[in-house]
């Protein structure tokens, strides 16, 4: 057995690599084991986020947005282009290059921080020993005072629509089509369905999204969801709510999807089918016998508010534990645990984690919705402001959407901020800072916002909480 480590991290995705780097920064002798192998079989750090998640999806969202603007909205600016064409292979190649830049960047950061990197599957044994099985089957065992489980999540597969990665694909498959499918079916109108559905719709695919639930974007603010649904429909995303899919059959080059809605049984035929019905924590084969780490009711490692599993020196962070399956939630958990191990005051404020959906318009929120506040009997007041009245948004020709601020009816403390519109993935940061510092709507209203910027929508929405927005009737 090699020397003992202070920290071994199992999983080199965003939660794991943040934990490893922070631990190493704090002077802890650290190793990270990662099992990721792309479809080409090559090992790469960065997990879902860098390889087949956040970064590649945003690369394609950006490419497809450029193409869509060229073919649809540039003419409003007096710009015309003939023979606009999309080279899907070049677009996907650019995405691959970005992925490589970031995954090899993590490897360099490991080297720079003197983190020992192992490629293979890690399994936690007794006394915080970890067995590593490499791709060729060879095994070795290392040990540490602390082990952080950061094994992430995998897509949920539907029993009647098994991934063949040609016709019926998961997120990874939908990021590497070699041509624009004529008809793309999507099961699930969640974050992946909307983002990847948008990518291929903007490039010309007919996109039909089948969502089992009757409400669109059930966890978002109702006003925000309404605007988003209207704008997505205008873009040609055909979102069918209350659609219960029962079958997906590959027939030659097509997939026939059967679903039932209020009108009875329906069928659609598509060229590709993306299944995006959520992800499940990955915990398989990570624990040897008698370790004592519990698995919760949803198959995740059971942890307390400090990501401790209840077993001495064993922690778990990121998608494999309770809470939002978001990269930045995992980053913060990984760093907080490393700090706790080093005797510092690591902490994550789960109440202010921002959510962003990178569609057009973008959707972003932090804190509570009106529905949640009503259910908890918390008195509140709201103020909202439309981007149609924001000079910068009009100049950009991107006027759909609004910002809504929700504050406590008596204390004025900001309880939630909900946005749909241009650039809201960036604007939400201001709301998060204000909430993190226990700010009030009055605080936001008194902060000077540059003119003309999109951030004026946040300012005016905060003013509107007390009915004193300037550029709209209150």
Report the residue number, 177 or 385, with the smaller CB distance to ligand FAD: 177
Return the one option of ligand FAD, ligand NAD, none that residue 11 interacts with (CB less than 5 to 8 A, by type).
Answer: ligand FAD
Q: Is 358 in the site for ligand NAD (CB under 6 A)?
A: yes
Q: Is 213 in the site for ligand NAD (CB under 6 A)?
A: yes
In angstroms, the CA 283 to CA 295 distance is 9
Cβ atoms of residues 149 and 317 within 8 Å: yes
Question: Between residue 405 and residue 464, which ones bind ligand NAD under the rule CB under 6 A?
Answer: none
Q: Is 154 in the site for ligand NAD (CB under 6 A)?
A: no
Burial of 163 (0-12, 13-18, 19+ CB in 10 A): middle
Return the one option of ligand FAD, ligand NAD, none that residue 35 interacts with (CB less than 5 to 8 A, by type).
Answer: ligand FAD
Among 115, 277, 335, 457, binds ligand NAD (CB under 6 A): 277
Rg over CA atoms, the chain: 24
* Residue 340: how many other CB atoms lie within 10 Å: 17
Among 28, 276, 303, 321, binds ligand NAD (CB under 6 A): 276
Q: Give me the numbers of helices (H) and strands (E) for the chain, helices first please.
A: 13, 22
Q: From residue 431, how far is each of 67, 142, 144, 361, 402 by CA, in Å?
A: 31, 44, 40, 18, 14
Report the residue number, 353 or 396, with the smaller CB distance to ligand NAD: 353
Report the residue number, 346 or 439, with the smaller CB distance to ligand FAD: 346
- Give the shortest CB-432-to-ligand FAD separation in angstroms: 13
Return the one option of ligand FAD, ligand NAD, none that residue 330 interacts with (CB less than 5 to 8 A, by type).
Answer: ligand FAD
Return the one option of ligand NAD, ligand FAD, none that residue 190 interacts with (CB less than 5 to 8 A, by type).
Answer: ligand NAD
Cβ atoms of residues 147 and 314 within 8 Å: yes
Q: What are 408's two structure tokens?
A: 């406590």
Report the residue number, 224 or 373, with the smaller CB distance to ligand FAD: 224
Q: Look at the alpha carbons of 375, 349, 381, 385 in this order and tell me if their dihedral is positive or negative.
A: negative
Place of tokens 């309880």: 415
* Nearest residue to ligand NAD on Cβ basis: 190
Q: Is 21 in the site for ligand NAD (CB under 6 A)?
A: no
Binding site for ligand FAD (CB under 6 A): 10-16, 33-36, 47-49, 53-54, 57, 121-122, 150-153, 171, 192, 282, 286, 318-319, 325-328, 330
Q: Is 211 in the site for ligand NAD (CB under 6 A)?
A: yes
In angstroms, the CA 263 to CA 123 distance is 50
Q: Which stretch binds ligand NAD (CB under 6 A): 39-47, 89-97, 183-191, 408-416?
A: 183-191
Q: What are 120's two structure tokens?
A: 């293979």
- Give the shortest CB-294-to-ligand FAD separation in angstroms: 18
Report the residue number, 175 or 400, with the smaller CB distance to ligand NAD: 175
The contacts of residue 443 (CB under 8 Å, 6+ apart) are 414, 434, 462
x/- string (CB under 6 A) for ligand NAD, residues 312-341? ------------xxx---------------
- Give the shortest CB-330-to-ligand NAD separation in angstroms: 10
DSSP per residue, 171-211? HHHHT--SS--SEEEEE--SHHHHHHHHHHHHTT-EEEEE-
- Give the shortest CB-333-to-ligand FAD separation in angstroms: 8
DSSP per residue, 409-441? TTT-BEEEEEEEETTHHHHHHHHHHHHHTT-BH
Return the one option of ligand FAD, ligand NAD, none that residue 400 interacts with (CB less than 5 to 8 A, by type).
Answer: none
Best CA proximity match to 216, nearest among 201, 237, 246, 200? 237
In angstroms, the CA 260 to CA 246 distance is 8
Place of tokens 């399956």: 325
Q: Which stretch binds ligand NAD (CB under 6 A): 90-98, 273-281, 296-304, 413-421?
A: 273-281
- Element spanning 17, H or E: helix 14-25
Return the one option of ligand FAD, ligand NAD, none that residue 43 interacts with (CB less than 5 to 8 A, by type).
Answer: none
In angstroms, the CA 248 to CA 23 distance is 46
In angstroms, the CA 320 to CA 283 distance is 7
Q: Is 207 in the site for ligand NAD (CB under 6 A)?
A: no
Best CA proximity match to 174, nearest among 153, 190, 195? 195
- Give the shortest CB-102-to-ligand FAD separation in angstroms: 12
Among 7, 15, 207, 245, binds ligand NAD (CB under 6 A): 245
Residues marked active site are found at: 451
Q: Is 279 in the site for ligand NAD (CB under 6 A)?
A: yes
In angstroms, the CA 367 to CA 447 distance is 20
Report the residue number, 418 or 459, with the smaller CB distance to ligand NAD: 418
Report the residue number, 363 or 462, with the smaller CB distance to ligand FAD: 363
Among 99, 144, 149, 187, binds ligand NAD (CB under 6 A): 187
Residues that bind ligand NAD (CB under 6 A): 158, 187-193, 195, 210-213, 245, 276-279, 324-326, 356-358
């Amino acid at each position: 057995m090699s020397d003992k480590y202070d920290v071994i991290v199992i999983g080199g995705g965003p939660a794991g690599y943040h934990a490893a780097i922070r631990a190493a920064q704090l002077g802890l002798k650290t190793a990270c084991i990662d099992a990721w192998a792309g479809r080409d079989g090559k090992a790469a750090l960065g997990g879902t986020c860098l390889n087949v998640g956040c970064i590649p999806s945003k690369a394609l969202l950006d490419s497809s947005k450029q193409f869509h603007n060229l073919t649809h909205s540039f003419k409003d600016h007096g710009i015309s282009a003939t023979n606009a064409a999309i080279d899907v292979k070049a677009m996907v190649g650019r995405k691959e290059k970005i992925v490589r830049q970031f995954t090899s960047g993590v490897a360099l950061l490991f080297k720079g921080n003197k983190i020992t990197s192992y490629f293979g599957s890690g399994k936690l044994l007794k006394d915080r020993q970890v067995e590593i099985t490499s791709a060729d089957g060879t095994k070795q065992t290392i040990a540490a005072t602390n082990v952080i489980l950061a094994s992430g999540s995998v897509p949920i597969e539907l029993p009647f629509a098994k991934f063949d990665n040609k016709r019926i694909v998961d997120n990874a498959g939908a990021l590497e089509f070699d041509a624009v499918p004529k008809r793309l079916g999507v099961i699930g109108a969640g974050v992946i369905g909307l983002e990847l559905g948008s990518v291929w719709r903007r490039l010309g695919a007919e996109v039909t999204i089948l969502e089992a639930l009757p409400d669109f974007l059930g966890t978002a603010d109702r006003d925000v969801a309404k605007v988003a649904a209207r704008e997505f429909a205008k873009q040609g995303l055909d979102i069918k709510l209350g659609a219960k899919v029962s079958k997906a059959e590959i027939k030659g080059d097509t997939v026939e999807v059967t679903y039932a809605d209020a009108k009875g049984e329906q069928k659609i035929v598509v060229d590709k089918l993306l299944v995006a019905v959520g992800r499940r924590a990955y915990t398989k084969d990570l624990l040897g016998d008698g370790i004592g780490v519990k698995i919760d009711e949803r198959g995740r490692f059971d942890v307390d508010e400090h990501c401790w599993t209840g077993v001495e020196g064993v922690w778990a962070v990121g998608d494999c534990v309770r809470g939002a399956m978001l990269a930045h939630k995992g980053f913060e958990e990984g760093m907080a645990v490393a700090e706790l191990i080093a005797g510092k005051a690591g902490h994550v404020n789960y109440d202010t984690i921002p959510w962003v959906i990178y569609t057009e318009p973008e959707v972003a929120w932090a804190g509570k919705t009106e529905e949640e506040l009503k259910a908890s009997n918390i008195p509140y007041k709201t103020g909202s402001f439309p981007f149609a009245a924001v000079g910068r948004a009009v100049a950009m020709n991107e006027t759909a959407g609004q910002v809504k601020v929700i504050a406590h009816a008596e204390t004025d403390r900001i309880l939630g901020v909900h946005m749909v519109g241009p650039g809201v993935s960036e604007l939400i940061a201001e709301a998060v800072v204000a909430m993190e510092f226990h700010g009030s709507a009055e605080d936001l209203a008194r902060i000077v916002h540059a003119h003309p910027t999109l951030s004026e929508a946040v300012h005016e929405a905060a003013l509107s909480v007390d009915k004193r927005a300037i550029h709209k009737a209150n």
